[in-house]
Amino acid sequence: MQNKTILITGGTGSWGRQLVKRLLERAPKEIRIFSRNESLQVELQQEYHHNPKLTFIIGDIRDKHEIMQACHQVDYIYHLAALKHVPICEQQPDSAMKTNVLGTQHVIQAAIKHGVKKVVYVSTDKAAHPSSTYGMTKSLGEKLMVHANLRQTKTQFVCVRSGNVLGSTGSVIPIFKQSIADGVDISLTDARMTRFFLTIDDAITLLLKATEESKGGEVFVTKMPACSIKDLAQVLIDDLSTSTIQIKETGIRPGESLSEALISEFESASSVHLDDHYYVILPPFPIEGLQDAYASCPPVDFQSYDSNHVLMSKPAIKEMLQQGGFLA
């Protein structure tokens, strides 16, 4: 990344802010932070004391012209911009489609036109077995990215698939903590629900790993722990509450699933162990040089990789929360 120009779409979100911090350590020429949120851009400018390496661009990936302009002379793109909250995407599927699918296609077209070296697309475990509008649109985004490598272009397109980042905007941990602080019962849609979790540092390490080692056309997946959301809530209650806090079920929301998969049954047939920390999902069709690059990697030994397998114990959940800075 040294002396390179990097564009981050959705750069003022939880991932984007941490990515900026890590990229600045690598002495880039310029980091362009592209997002719709003016107030968060001002906040980030002040946080970095108007660092001259940071360029802030108000824009929307749904506007092809705006993303085309932002990609001029860019070397790398991290495509983080998305509508990501499941209930909102269920209520407004047209907006989810415009942002997560058409917006992603605009990023691809802009990258090809400007000869960007590599595009890294952030996807989600909800794309493996999509039961929601959000999952479906992110799955389509993955497919657009993977297929873009079949074009005659020097740009490489790679995906990373993540679970839930601890403490990210709108996620359950800050919501649960606020309920406990207010002394009110925690609302949980279904006690059987399980999810994958990783820290924001691990999420950014995944992005950088994919940047450095990908060939174009693959999906990088972190090997990450899963836990029961009810157990997660109980660990927070046990550690933080000063009064009696109950866990109340409210019923599953539209589009919500009880568990998530990072690698589906269909994908496991073409997935490999990259190393002790990562899997790679290869496409079911050949891309020149891609399959050969992973020929020495052992295939995975499971049918699917879902959040019901080997759930963390409560002590392990507590340790994870401590490492993430959510418990003392």
**209 in active site:** no
Kindly give the residue spans of alpha helices, DSSP state H, lying in the chain. 14-24, 38-47, 64-70, 86-91, 93-97, 103-113, 133-148, 172-182, 200-213, 229-240, 265-268, 290-293, 314-323
Q: Which of 118, 126, 209, 215 is catalytic?
A: 126
Q: In the numeric block, which tokens belong to residue 181?
A: 């602080």
Give, in degrees to the nearest 5, the angle at Cα 36 between 129 and 208.
55
Distances (CA, A) of 43 to 17, 21, 114, 126, 283: 11, 14, 30, 30, 40
- Let me know if 281 is exposed, middle or buried by CB neighbors in 10 A (0-12, 13-18, 19+): buried
The answer to whether 105 and 144 have CB atoms below 8 angstroms apart is yes
- Within 10 Å of residue 67's Cβ, how many Cβ atoms? 26
Residue with tokens 């157990």: 231
* Rounded Cα distance, 153 and 172, in Å: 41
Give, in degrees to the nearest 5, the angle at Cα 10 between 27 and 150.
85
* Rounded Cα distance, 326 and 40, in Å: 23
The answer to whether 122 and 79 have CB atoms below 8 angstroms apart is yes
Instruction: List Cβ neighbours of 71 (8 Å cut-off, separation of 6 or more).
Output: 7, 77, 110, 111, 113, 114, 116
Q: In the numeric block, which tokens belong to residue 41?
A: 């851009």
- Within 10 Å of residue 296's Cβ, how many Cβ atoms? 7
Q: Catalytic site residues?
A: 126
